[in-house]
Every structure is written in C-alpha cells, then in structure tokens.
C-alpha cells in the first residue's frame, strides 16, 4: 500500500513527500488527503512543524537533546517495559482498583508516571520531570505525574514546601490543557495498600535520587 513507482530519466531529480494523516471521520480524512496531495502544501506543513517545534523548545528552555530524552520517556509510557514498572511483589499484592485512586483526586483514566523523592538534593530531577511532563502534554501525550514524597511528616517539611512551590510556579507558565495533572503525595500519609496501588498502576516509576532522566532511562536498575 506504500509503494509508489517512479520512472527517472537520466539526470532527472524527483522529490517525494511521505505524509501520515489522522482524522476522526472519513470526510475529514479525504479533505486532508486532498490538501496534502499538493507537494508544496506538504513542504509548508513540514516547515511550520519545524518552526513550532523549535518555539516549544525555546518556551520550555530546553535543547534538542532534552527533547529526545523526553521522547524516549514517551515511548516507555506508550509501550511499558517491565524494568520501569514497580517490582513484581507489589503488583501481586495490589488488591485495590481504579476507583480507589479517586480519594487522591486521581482519575486513573490517563497514563501515570510516579517519581519518588526523598531528599532536598533531588529537586533538580523534580524540575526536569515537570518540564518533561509539560513537553509530553504539549505534544499530545496526556499523562498524570505523581511525586511521592518520602519526607516524614513534621511541623516543618522543607522538601514538601519546595516541591509544592516548583509545581505551582511551573503550572503558571505551562500550557496545560484538560488532563495531565501533577500530584504531590506523602508516603507516610497513605496506607501500604494505597502505595501499592499507585505504584502498580504507574506506567513508569522513577527514583529522583538515581540521577537525571537520560541516565535512568538507560539504566537496568531495579525500580522502587
């Protein structure tokens, strides 16, 4: 179905555009096909996409290498891998259901990323994941990001306060649409059953103390 036969004369040059289209109805799809059947229209679409992509990078203050790392993260979410899920024992122990997430304001309808944070030194990774989360949302991959705070409950909780400030500051500048929320939950304020549930439903579990996102995605270390 993807075959296109071309006959080239000596010295002749031909440009070919391969376009993938998506539409919610047959009528809309045919309209798109008619539009992009024009080679110049295809080239303009590619140029606009390139410009928009670079504007996004500038908006998020990231580089192309960061974008590639975030795209790798997207791949792990869409096609979950065992090494990035929680340990098998937790999966076996989990007896709760999606409706049990609602107590935390989590619908469970979107893919979930969980990041465990236990030290103030891990805040760099928190910032990176907030940017990654926004990047994925802007590219159409809606997912919920959950930070599990390992800090013990006390009158002063510097780690919780810092993460909360980062989340609020980030959301004020992020172009968030429906879905794709960010949550901060305290591990010592939930039952073991709820902790197992959240870790079990997560498409990917990351530990902030283990370094930057690029390194963790390349690692074979066991998860939380």
pLDDT at position 125 is: 96
Tell me the three state secondary structure of residue 20: coil
Contacts of 163-170 spanning 24+ positions with Cβ under 8 A: 163/117, 163/123, 163/126, 166/123, 166/126, 166/127, 166/130, 167/130, 170/127, 170/130, 170/131, 170/134
pLDDT at position 4 is: 81
pLDDT at position 2 is: 76
Pairing mode of beta strands 144-149, 112-117:
parallel
pTM exceeds 0.85 for this model: no
Q: Residue 206 forms beta bridges with which residues?
A: 115
Q: For residue 151, what is the DSSP state? A: P
Please report which residue ranges of the chain form alpha helices under DSSP H: 26-36, 39-60, 64-78, 88-93, 123-138, 158-173, 192-201, 213-218
Positions in the chain whose pLDDT score sits under 70: 1, 155, 172-179, 220-224
Q: Residue 149 forms beta bridges with which residues?
A: 117, 186
Are 53 and 190 spatial neighbours (Cβ–Cβ below 8 Å)? no
Contacts of 164-167 spanning 24+ positions with Cβ under 8 A: 166/123, 166/126, 166/127, 166/130, 167/130
């Amino acid at each position: 179905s993807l075959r296109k036969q071309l006959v080239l004369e000596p010295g002749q040059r031909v440009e070919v555009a391969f376009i993938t289209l998506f539409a919610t109805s047959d009528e809309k799809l045919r309209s798109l096909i008619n539009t992009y059947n024009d080679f110049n229209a295809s080239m303009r679409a590619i140029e606009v996409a390139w410009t928009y992509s670079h504007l996004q990078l500038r908006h998020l203050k990231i580089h192309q290498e960061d974008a590639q790392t975030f795209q790798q993260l997207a791949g792990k979410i869409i096609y979950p891998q065992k090494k990035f899920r929680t340990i098998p024992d937790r999966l076996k122990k989990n007896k709760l259901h999606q409706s049990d997430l609602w107590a935390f304001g989590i619908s469970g309808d979107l893919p979930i990323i969980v990041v465990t944070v236990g030290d103030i030194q891990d805040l760099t990774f928190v910032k990176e994941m907030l940017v990654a989360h926004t990047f994925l949302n802007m590219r159409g991959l809606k997912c919920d990001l959950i930070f599990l705070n390992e800090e013990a409950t006390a009158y002063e909780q510097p780690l919780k306060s810092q993460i909360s400030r980062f989340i609020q500051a980030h959301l004020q500048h992020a172009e968030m649409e429906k879905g794709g929320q960010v949550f901060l939950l305290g591990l010592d304020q939930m039952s073991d059953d709820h902790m197992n549930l959240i870790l079990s439903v997560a498409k990917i579990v990351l530990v902030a103390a283990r370094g930057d996102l690029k390194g963790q995605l390349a690692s074979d270390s066991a998860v939380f």
